[in-house]
Structure 1
């Protein structure tokens, strides 16, 4: 209202406003909107189908995490997280195989006694680690 009165008196309108009214809204959606989330690469990387492909390419040396991030349109931290989780699963799998191989020949009663002993030793405060 003030701008109209000022322009009627011969002064130019306020530079913060367009002569035709408020500024037009941008034509592309806001980056945090639903359209961006549909294409966002850092969502839930555990459920995406290309996770196995990222792992295969990284293990075969077909690219650094930065190159793979560019290729799959995800952030470098996503690629690094996928690889870190894969390595952790591999290490856990190897540990389980080693434990099974180590105690495979023990009778179940003796194995149960070893487990109970380890649990008691773990629950005692300041107890030495059971081996």
Structure 2
């Protein structure tokens, strides 16, 4: 893909990338959102070890990147959730309902062994604006 066809999205309201990636990349009216874990954007540390608190921070971070891209969480058409313990799925489902309005995005929830920095939940997605 030609670099002139994509815009790199960055906001100080979400954690800095902790690797060789961008917070999001916009091409046309589609925005590809990198995974967000529960890092406090200023301290770059996990907000808590509590699952619900981490899930809330994940959606706050994702929302900040969506807004920096010119959209909102409700513009996400595909959301991927990664959980280190799938027994937390009902909790993340309830918390997600506080951040998204119907119609909800297509979604996957995947159980994984571990996530960066010891996080227990991560989310990424694709947004169309």
More helix by share: 1
Structure number with bigger Rg: 1
TM above 0.5: no
TM-score (norm 2): 0.23
Q: Which has the higher strand share?
A: 2
Larger relative contact order, structure 1 or 2 (CA cutoff 8 Å, min sep 6)? 2
